[in-house]
Structures are given as C-alpha cells and as structure tokens.
Amino acid sequence: MRALRLQNVNWQKSANRDVHHTEKFSSQELILRRGQPFEIAIAWNRNIAPEEHLDFVVSTGPSSSESAKTKATFPISTGSAGGGWKAQLKNKEGNLLTVIISSPVSAPIGWYTMNIQVTSSSSEGMYTASLGVFVLLFNPWMQGDDVFMSNEAERREFVEEDSGAIFVGSTNRINMVGWNFGQYEEDILKISLAVLDKSLNFRRDAATDVARRNDPKYITRVLSAMINGNDDYGVLLGNWSGNYAGGRDPRNWNGSVEILKTWETSGFRPVQFGQCWVFAGVLNTVMRCLGIPARVVTNFNSAHDTDKNLTVDVYYDPMGNPLQKGSDSVWNFHVWNEAWFMRNDLGPIFNGWQVLDATPQERSQGVYQCGPASVNAIREGDVDLNFDMPFIFAEVNADRITWIYNASNGSQKQNGVDTRSIGQFISTKAVGSYSRMDVTEKYKYPEGSGEERQVQQRAMKKLKPSASIRPTSAESEEGEGSSPSISGRFKVNGVLEVGQEVSLVLLLKNQSQDRKTVAVHMTAWTIVYNGTLVHEVWKDSAIISLESEEEVQHPVKISYGQYEKYLKADNMIRTTAICKLADEDEVVVERDLVLDNPTLILEVLDQAQVQKPLNVQMIFSNPLNEPVKDCVLMVEGSGLLRGNLKIDVPALRPKEQSKVRFEILPTRSGTKQLLADFSCNKFPAIKAMLSIDVAE
C-alpha cells in the first residue's frame, strides 16, 4: 500500500471568518475566535486505512508545552465532552475528510501552527504534515469567554467599530475630535500581536508570557506598558513640552494606523510624539483588534497625585503667576481606556469595565503601566485591590489645595481646599452615535453626598490607616467661621477664537456690609492641556474699591499680538487674579480658556459607492489679517482610502478662502468616517470629520 500523504488543505477561510466575526480584517490569514468551532477539509493521496490513526497538534509561541496549555495533541473523536481542543469528523468522501475543530474558550490568543500526525498499528514510525497557521482571538460573542459581552449594540460599538470620537478641552468647553482606530487595516493585526512579542515579559520569559495570553487582565496590563515607549520597545514617546521638533505635534494625528505602521517599519522604535488621547486611541485599536471590548474615556479636571495622599497641591505667587512647584498637577482633561472583562481575581461584583491607562505618568511594579482597575471598585473606594487603584481613584476624587508661595522669603500659605472640582464630566462616545455619554456616576457618588464622603474615608483609611479625614469644604467653612468677604470670577465677553482679541471681565462682589479696597494682580499664560506653562502673555494690576455688597466688573483684554507666538495647538490660556484685602486671606480667581479654531469644511461631491472613486472637497477660510503659509492637509479614514493622504495646500492671503479637491476610493460599505487635519504656520491643528454612507 502507498504511504499516506497529505495532498491539500482547504481552510474554508471565507465561511469560517464569517462565522467568527473576523470577515472585516484585510489580512488574508485564517482569523478565528476562541471557543468557537471551525471547519477544515483535508485531502489525502488515498483512502485512510482502518489501522491508521490521525492526531492534530496545535501550538503557539516558542517552547510550547501541553502543561502550559500552549500545545495540544488530540485525535478525531465522536464525542464533544471536555473543555480542551477537539476534532470531530463531519464528513468522509473517499480520501477527503471534513473535520470540525473546537478550541477551548480559555485558550491563549495569538499565532498558532497546526500539524497532523499519522501513525499506523501495522508499521513503525510517524508521518507529520504541516496544515498551516491561523490566528486565535478573544471571543466577546461566546458566553464562556472572560470578555463576553451580551448586548449586541455594545459589541458592535466596542469591538467592531473602527472609528470613534475622543472628548478634549476643559469643563467649560468640551470639544470632540474624531479618531480612526482602523483595527481591520492591512498589517494592524500582525502589528498588534507584535506589540505583545516586544514586551519585557516576553523577552524575559517567552514561554510563561505566551501561556498567560489566555487572560485579558494580563494582556491589557502588558499593552498599557507597551503603547508607551518608556521602558521597552513601546509604540509612542510622550511629549508635553510644547516643543515637538524632531517628531509630530500630537494634535496632528488622525488615528492609530499610521502610528502603528511607523513603529513597525522603523524597527520598533517609539514614534514621536504622543499625548494622552493618542496613547488611548492606539491602545483602543490594539484591544479591539485582539477581540477585547474597549472604549476611550475622558476625565475633565484630572488629578495627577504623585504621593498617594488623595490631594493635589497647586501653587501661585503673590503676583498671580501659576507656579510649576511640586510634582502634583491638575490636567484640564486626561484620556484613558476602559476594557470589558471578568475579574476572576477579585470577584463578580468587580466584573465589567476596567480602567487602563497607557500614558506614562507613574511607575507601577517598576514599569510605566496602569490598570486594569475595576470601575466598580473605584466607585466604592476599594483602593487596596489590583491594579493601581490609589492613583486612578485620586484622578477622579482628589481634593485640590491652593497655596500661595513667596519666593523672596520661601514662605507658603495654604489658601483654600476644593473638594468638588476634580473628576468632572467623565465622558465617552455614546453607543451607535457621536453624542457624548456622561459616565461620571459610574466612577463616583454625587459630589457632596453622604456616600461620596464615606467612600473618601474608606479609601483614606486603606491608604493611610492613621490619617485623619479632612472635612468637606462646606463643613470646614462653617467650622472656621471666616469665609472671605469678597468673591470673584472671570466672565467671557464675546467669542473665544484664535486670531481675535480675548475679552473677559473680572467680576468682584463685596459680600459684606463694609467698604472694601482690593489690590488685584492678574496674569495670563499660554499652557499645554496638562498644565505645563508655556509663556506669560499678559499681566495687569489694579486697586478696586467696593461699596457694601457692590459688584464691580474689571475689563481684561488680551490681543492676538500678545498671545499669537506662544499659543500651542491646545489653544489654551490660563487667567489668574490674586485679590488681596487688608487682614484677610487672598482670594484666588482663575479660569482656563479654550480658543476655537476657524472651521474646516469637508463635503462629498458624488454618491459614495464601493470601489468607485469619490471626489471630496475641503474648504478653509483664513480669518486673519495676515497670510498663512506651510499649509498641509492630512486625510484618513478606514474603509475610505488606503493609508493616508498628504496634500500641500498653497499659501493663503489675508481673509482668502481655499478649496482643495481630492479623490478617495471606498473599499467597504456602510457609514464610514473621513478625518482631516489642516495645519499651517498660524494654526497648528484644525480638525474636521465627515460621515460618508457608502453603498455596495
């Protein structure tokens, strides 16, 4: 009898990928989800004799082993019992076998090789043939998987959606920018798996690392370390200096695809530069790509508490200048991720959304990584649970303490405690629409409620068992019996637009029956969104008299000429007033302003159809009384064009309008997002987003 030899393998890629919800990936491999059966057809050079026995062998990673569950050998069987790898004969026609193979729902994810072994009871030796390779991903459609998500609309949004929106700005000016996640684009799956293989854990002990890739807790923690380039061959280098020479201004990125591809083609050198929403956008891409439901979340007035005391200290000098003193800070906004999975290590009440943060802020176990931390645990103040709970709890709950520091004699004086301003408007994109969904109540009880202070006390006791709990601002004011006799706030007059004068008033109100004389020192600084000071652009001092219960408006005007050279792509200006009365504590008034960019318009000129060239027009009007030059338009959108488009736009005279036409080629039907970034010497990053309905 002729030796039995393999002739052909049909992986039935199209049918299997449809059933496994991986049909959108542009790479041609067989991409499967764990726990879900798949079919293959195997042709031999002759019929299999009764004495010949077939075994499948699957393995993943180097030095795979059955004990680590990174390798399995299994026969074709009739039963379906047991939780391991299984093969069942579906059909046998002559020398063609159709086999249904099932992976365990807890299998490690990643690249697998599959071989088949033939042994015979009538002869010595074994024949082994390679069947090929496939990729195994997490399976949010499968009830037994740790990442299972039962709601179909949520699954579509948090796993399958390849574009989204990220909220930025400040509490009084929340803006939305589009982001192209692009997890189905060419090579992104391969690069996402390479992120795991470049990690410190893999390089130290590859066999153990691969064996632990069955666990979304483990994988997401590794990814939170790998998306930043601080300790390893990570993807992105952070830069908050305001100077981005040698790289790209973080505001200019439109999505993750270009970043991940640049990282790979450069030989895995960190891409320059990222800030928090860029780290979060890239981490979201990789998690969705691997099958972990994920979303991007923004926390406004986010505390960076470096010493785990649940307070952040903010300093000013007596002239109203903000000071960069101490290591604590308050970011206008901070962006992180949530991933959805079970917490078998903590218990069922901690299942669901978990915070992960790839922005390098603090080391955790020696590495810049953060999370996963259960959102439910944050809400209840369980700061002793894994991972990095104290830091994340403080980001949304810390008390903000204002100090006035006098450099001439080195003295500093506590000016006020604010228990309410940190952790506001915690935001994410709504399911199925581009509206903002507020998730603050998932992170904490209502400010000032009894539960909120109980949680704060529980957290403080766990962090510092001997510490006394500071009273709330309402309680402490009553206790001291000396609230300030004046109050103040900045009010915006007119519009806040780049290129226009910034017009405000400082409103001061005398809350007492006595006449008051106030010495006011005011400053304005351009800043980066995380509070980094760029440059002072304006200052003023005044003596203001207030009659009993009188309110006075003091005008503040900052010209474009004063701030133009120092405004960063954040478009942020921090205004401060220190108001001094005789024999009383100073009153500190502050406001961060976000200036609007001019509008960038995108419009489609034809009906969009798959594989049919589509004309798009960009319209931009220069609002300034001076020319703008070095204009570049960057365009991208998954399913609308391959890679991205870079168009040099001619310089614009004062008040001139520019129209630029370009062509894209849609490759997938459905609603797709086109994202644009326009930059020039006067406007570093103007964003636009357009939804395009693509017909089959």
- Within a domain: 633: yes
Identify whether residues 208 and 347 lie together within a single domain: yes
Q: What is the pLDDT of residue 78?
A: 72
- Within a domain: 335: yes
Domain end (from 463, 495, 516): 463
Q: What is the pLDDT of residue 472?
A: 46
357 among known catalytic residues: yes
Domain count, the chain: 4
Q: What are phi and psi of 102, to 5 degrees?
A: -125, 135
- Within a domain: 146: no
Question: What's the CATH number where 264 sits?
Answer: 3.90.260.10
- CB-hemisphere CA count at 13 Å for 495? 7
Identify whether residues 34 and 132 lie together within a single domain: yes
Give the span between the Cα atoms of 85 and 107, in whole angstroms.
Answer: 9
Identify whether residues 385 and 451 lie together within a single domain: yes
> Quick one: tokens of 119?
């042994």
Q: What is the pLDDT of residue 289?
A: 98
Identify whether residues 194 and 329 lie together within a single domain: yes
pLDDT digits 0-9 by tens, 445-463: 998 899 998 999 999 999 8
276 among known catalytic residues: yes
Q: What are phi and psi of 463, to 5 degrees?
A: -80, -45
| DSSP structure string for 235-279 | SEEE--SS--TTS--GGG--BSHHHHHHHHHTTSPPEEEE-HHHH
State which H helix or E strand residue 85 sits in: none
Which amino acid appears at position 418 of this protein?
D
Question: Residues near 672 by Cβ (< 8 Å), separated by ≥ 6?
Answer: 163, 637, 638, 639, 640, 666, 691, 692, 694
Identify whether residues 589 and 607 lie together within a single domain: no
Domain end (from 559, 594, 629): 594
Domain end (from 540, 564, 594): 594
Binding residues: 397, 399, 447, 452
| DSSP structure string for 492-551 | E-S--BTTS-EEEEEEEEE-SSS-EEEEEEEEEEEE-TTS-EEEEEEEEEEEEEE-TT-E
- Helical spans, DSSP H, in 69-227: 152-155, 188-197, 200-204, 206-211, 216-226
Instruction: Name the catalytic one among 334, 388, 521, 554.
Output: 334
- Within a domain: 427: yes
Identify whether residues 120 and 206 lie together within a single domain: no
Identify whether residues 576 and 604 lie together within a single domain: no
- Within a domain: 152: no
Identify whether residues 187 and 326 lie together within a single domain: yes
Give the span between the Cα atoms of 660 and 633, in whole angstroms.
Answer: 9
- Within a domain: 20: yes
Which amino acid appears at position 97 of this protein?
L
Give the span between the Cα atoms of 495 and 58, in whole angstroms.
Answer: 64
Instruction: Name the catalytic one among 145, 317, 357, 388.
Output: 357
Binding residues for Ca(2+): 397, 399, 447, 452
Length of the chain: 696
State which H helix or E strand residue 304 sits in: strand 294-304
Residues forming beta bridges with residue 335, ordered by sequence position = 298
Question: Cα dihedral sign for 653, 655, 661, 667?
Answer: positive
Identify whether residues 326 and 207 lie together within a single domain: yes
Question: Residues near 524 by Cβ (< 8 Å), separated by ≥ 6?
Answer: 502, 536, 537, 538, 539, 556, 558, 563, 573, 574, 575, 576
- Within a domain: 143: no
Reference 572, options 533, 618, 541; nearest CA is 533
334 among known catalytic residues: yes
Helix, strand, coil content of the chain in percent (nearest 5): 20, 40, 40
Identify whether residues 455 and 495 lie together within a single domain: no
Instruction: Name the catalytic one among 197, 276, 305, 592.
Output: 276
Task: Please give the residue range of the domain that contains residue 332.
Answer: 162-463
Question: What's the CATH number where 519 sits?
Answer: 2.60.40.10
Q: Count CB atoms within 10 A of the CB of residue 596.
A: 15
Identify whether residues 75 and 195 lie together within a single domain: no
Q: Which segments in the chain show pLDDT lower than 50?
A: 472-481
- Within a domain: 379: yes
Identify whether residues 277 and 236 lie together within a single domain: yes
